[in-house]
Amino acid sequence: MKYGHLIGSTSLSGLAVLPKFSGQSYATALQMSRSGVFIGFSEKGNMPFFLDAAYAMNPHVFIAGMSGSGKTFLTKNIMLKLFAVLGHQVVLLDFTGEYLEFSEFANCSRYRFNGLGDILSKRKPVLLYVGLSEMKSAERIPIAAGIVAELTEVMRTRLHRKDMLFIILDEAWKLLLKDKSLSTLVREGRKYGTGMILASQLIEDMELGMLSNIATLFVFRMQNKASLKKLELNYQINPDELTRVQNLNVGQCLVVQLSKSKARGVFFLGKVAGLSIGSVVKLIKGGKMVEIEYKRLEGIVLSLAKADPSALLSKLNADKAMELHKFMAWLMRLGADRLEILSRMRSLGINDSDTADSFAAAVGEEHGVA
């Protein structure tokens, strides 16, 4: 039923941007949640949204957004819930080590690069971590390509299984774009109960052929013009929604989903719900805040500091929060280059104006770093 039939105005009907449960009671939404995992509440109507492979056109998910916007938080919570709540099989390929702390927190099984088919042939839930970060850069892609090819063969053995297999690739998945196995997993996954979950800072990283085969898209804060244009053209996102995407706070996101009935839903989530997996540090600027995993922030500090940063790291680990200008004052006192600081702040999703204000405040600190 079209909204125009309900409210008597096709012009007003365009304003009714609600999630898939908008026409049902809260109790019915909770009933339907049995086959999906809870992601968050819609901004309009405060309705619960569940990522449900049985509802969507296919089980594939693409998560896009600036670094620090919330996409890694969502990815970790999706994979943990798919395993722990729904009892599916989940395989995570980690190219950079970003998910190492998560793998320890979630007590993931470690893949030792043999017997993948045997592990997944068992009809029981598994959360399998494939760590590639300790390998030489030249080795990672061919090894990952081999694993993806093996997963393609495993997928084709799952035709009559009720449980599902989900394969999660961090941002380095785009290095595998020329590999036919990745495309095959996306094109044939629905038939064999296999879903791909891919994450990237940019929508433009995804070629159109693959993007058209992904039913669910989560878009966190994004300001890249090419990605925004692709979002506008491929998903008919209107100018007001595009402007909103550029100014989303941490944890807020746009959801675009195509259902099996070919109904297209477009709506915003007020905040992704889930667990903080691993130690998180908050960098605060006025009323705004960016949450970063401690391990990631530690890596940034160690790479920038020319002097011993142990005092700063101890304070970050103990307090779990610091004002942005104080953090930048620490970095400057440790000899960090200003352009490098600016670059890293951008990578965390902190805009240049907030960085400039914090630089000025940091220089104005008269009594040292407290």
Which of helix, strand or coil describes residue 235?
helix
Tokens coding 273: 């719900």
Give the C-alpha separation, 350 to 342, whole Å. Answer: 9
CB atoms within 10 A of CB 308: 9
Give, in order, the Cα–Cα distances in Å from 276 to each of 45, 74, 109, 245, 283: 26, 10, 20, 23, 15
Tokens coding 262: 């070919």
Domain-by-domain residue ranges, the chain? 15-272, 280-363
Give 155-209 pLDDT, tens digit per residue: 999 988 889 999 999 876 777 777 788 889 999 999 999 999 999 888 888 877 7
Of the chain, the percentage scoring pLDDT greater than 70 comes to 88
Q: What is the DSSP string of 280-338?
A: EEEEEETTEEEEEEHHHHHHHHHHH-SS--HHHHHHHHHHSEEEHHHHHHHHHHTT--H
Give 100-110 pLDDT, tens digit per residue: 888 888 889 99
Which of helix, strand or coil describes residue 206?
coil
Give the C-alpha separation, 176 to 141, whole Å. Answer: 7
Give the C-alpha separation, 143 to 147, whole Å. Answer: 6
Give the C-alpha separation, 44 to 299, whole Å. Answer: 39
CATH code linked to domain 15-272: 3.40.50.300
Give 216-244 pLDDT, tens digit per residue: 999 999 988 999 998 898 888 999 999 99
* 33 pLDDT tier (thresholds 50, 70, 90): low
Query: How far from chain centre, in Å, is Cα 256?
Result: 14
Tokens coding 277: 């997996």
Strand pairing partners for 110? 129
| pTM above threshold 0.85 | no
